[in-house]
Amino acid sequence: MERVGIVGYYQVKLYSNANYGRYEMIFEAVRGALDSAELKKKDITTVVSCTNDYYDGRTISNAFTVEVGGAYLEDESKVEMDGAHAVLYGLMRILSGNHKLAVIWGGSMASCFPYHSARLYETDPTWERPVAYVNDITASGFQMRAYMEKYNVDIEEIAKISVKNRKNASKNPLALEEAQNANLSVNDILNSEIYADPVRELMVAQPCDGVAALLLAPEKQALKITDKPVWITGVGYNQETYYLGDRDLSISNSMELAGKMAFDAAGIKEPKNEINIAELFEAYAHEELIFSEALGLAEKGKGSELNSEIDGDLPINPSGGAQGGNPPCATGLIRIIEAAKQLRGEANGYQVKGAKKAVASGQIGMCAQNNIVYVLEGGD
């Protein structure tokens, strides 16, 4: 694959109830990304946004974000999945050879609506929705139990992921304040409120307000813009079937296949030995284990045996991951930005030493029906 570089990024501080509006937030992110690369609006040739009509409470939700997103009378369109999927679209536009600078931004304000209730609208309107037993939370309860049962994993092992990620989030100044906590114990996690047993409140990535933006450029242009580009050397994406009852929820087939596609493109044969740091969009603590296993960073059912602390064998979510705040439509994009920060040595306070190759993932759908994986490499 031709090299496409990440040449700038910006993420706003995450809030559970932000004190400024969505347009201000989008502007801060896009303007901030341009400033980080010392670029101007006139340098932008294409804009890809990621918002969701249901989450924004309006149809064609990007209609209102044209100006703040830097797309006034410009080439602009929207991806209604995760911000990480918008990056794929932006990447394709760059690879088409027609563009010199793509702005990709995504995000929303979960404080404006009941997020988990809105996700009921994802369910089949002719079958599941009228009886309303399935939303993202109950689905995650099934997913976590399926994983624990299949591999005999104790709930404590899953709680440890929340402890780790919330501790990591405490070092990340942009993480959600409510999620930043270096002093949680496994018992604190287990004793937090039951959402959908076995899933506890502190295992859930809390929906919040936030926007992030990323800049992509083709190789030649990237090298002109920055002396610290981060290259996208592989991308993979995969989607599985919709009905929960048709799927094996103890594993993630789509993540495994997406990972294989991305690693093949990047020429990575042994992810466990070649990847230095992973930023995975775990909407629930147990998903970090399922995903890291699907990506081959650990053996199936043995994810909890991996030392994934910041100074561990293979750091996973040193930024705190989605547990550090989950702004719908931005979370996967933030994982890519966090991985890029690590490769540029800009993760102040939670920097992984000597990170050269990273993997970042995004997801969308019940129990991560769709997954997207990026392999990123630093250096020139």
Query: 305 CB contacts (<8 Å, ≥6 apart)?
Result: 298
Nearer to another protein, 116 or 356 (CB): 116
Q: Is 128 in the site for another protein (CB under 8 A)?
A: yes
Q: Cβ closer to another protein: 249 or 262? A: 249
Residue 18 CB, nearest distance to another protein (Å)?
10
23 binding another protein? (CB under 8 A): no
Among 142, 237, 281, 284, binds another protein (CB under 8 A): 142
Residue 278 main-chain phi, psi, to 5 deg: -125, 140
Residue of 168, 178, 210, 84 whose CA lies nearest to 351: 168
Q: Shortest distance, CB of residue 302 to another protein, whole angstroms? A: 22
216 contacts another protein (rule: CB under 8 A): no
* Contact between 61 and 53 (Cβ < 8 Å): yes
Q: Which of the ranges 36-44, 196-204, 304-312, 342-350 carries the binding residues for another protein, by CB under 8 A?
A: 196-204
- Element spanning 358, H or E: strand 357-364
Report yes or no: 84 and 361 within 8 Å, Cβ to Cβ.
yes
Cβ 72 vs Cβ 48: under 8 Å: no
CA-CA distance, 102 to 46, in Å (whole number)? 5
* Contact between 286 and another protein per CB under 8 A: no
Q: Min. distance of Cβ 244 from another protein in angstroms? A: 7
Q: Does 66 bind another protein (CB under 8 A)?
A: no
Q: Is 141 near another protein (CB under 8 A)?
A: yes
Rule CB under 8 A: say whether 93 interacts with another protein: no
**The binder of another protein chosen from 46, 52, 62, 135 (CB under 8 A):** 135
Verify binding: residue 244, another protein, rule CB under 8 A: yes
Stretch that binds another protein, among 24-32, 93-101, 114-122, 332-340 (CB under 8 A): 114-122
Query: What does each C-alpha distance from 32 to 70, 124, 275 come to in angstroms?
Result: 11, 40, 29
One residue of 31, 116, 228, 272 binding another protein per CB under 8 A: 116
Give the number of residues written for the chain: 380
Give one word for 55, left, alpha or beta, with left for phi > 0 and alpha for psi -120 to 50: alpha
Is the omega angle on the peptide bond into residue 315 within 30 degrees of 0, that is, cis?
no
Task: Work out whether 131 is an interface residue with another protein (CB under 8 A).
Answer: yes
Count CA atoms closer than 13 A to 97's CA, side-chain side. 2
Applying CB under 8 A, the residues found at the interface with another protein are 19, 57, 114, 116-117, 120, 125-128, 130-135, 137-138, 141-142, 145-146, 149, 194-199, 241, 243-246, 249
